[in-house]
Amino acid sequence: MGKIISIIGGTVAVVIGLVLALFAWREAFILGIEFLIMLVLILGGLIAVIAGISEIKDSLVVKKEEEVKEEVKEEVKEEDKKE
């Protein structure tokens, strides 16, 4: 019985909240939506910048590792020629 009451109470709270948001607090609701859009744009842009910087760092590490591998290969070839 308690579960049904909580479902009914939650439904009533949602309906009352939507009615107040759409009619009584329309300006505050729209302002809140505008704030959320702005926040999502800022955070999304920040995540994109961080991902780009991380990708650049990763590519530099890979490039450096390839250079080291080439140097090692050249050293091995030179040692083989000496023997």
Position 35 scores a pLDDT of 96
Position 83 scores a pLDDT of 64
Position 10 scores a pLDDT of 94
* 39-60 pLDDT per residue, tens: 999 999 999 999 999 999 999 9
For residue 21, count other CB atoms closer than 10 A to its CB.
15
Question: Cα separation of 6 and 13, whole Å?
Answer: 10
**What is this structure's pTM?**
0.59
Question: Cα separation of 32 and 39, whole Å?
Answer: 10
With the CA atoms of 33, 36, 42 and 44 taken in that order, what torsion angle do they form, in degrees rounded to the nearest 10? Answer: -110
Q: Residues of the chain whose pLDDT is less than 50? A: none
The tally of domains found in the chain comes to 1
Residue 6's domain comprises 2-82
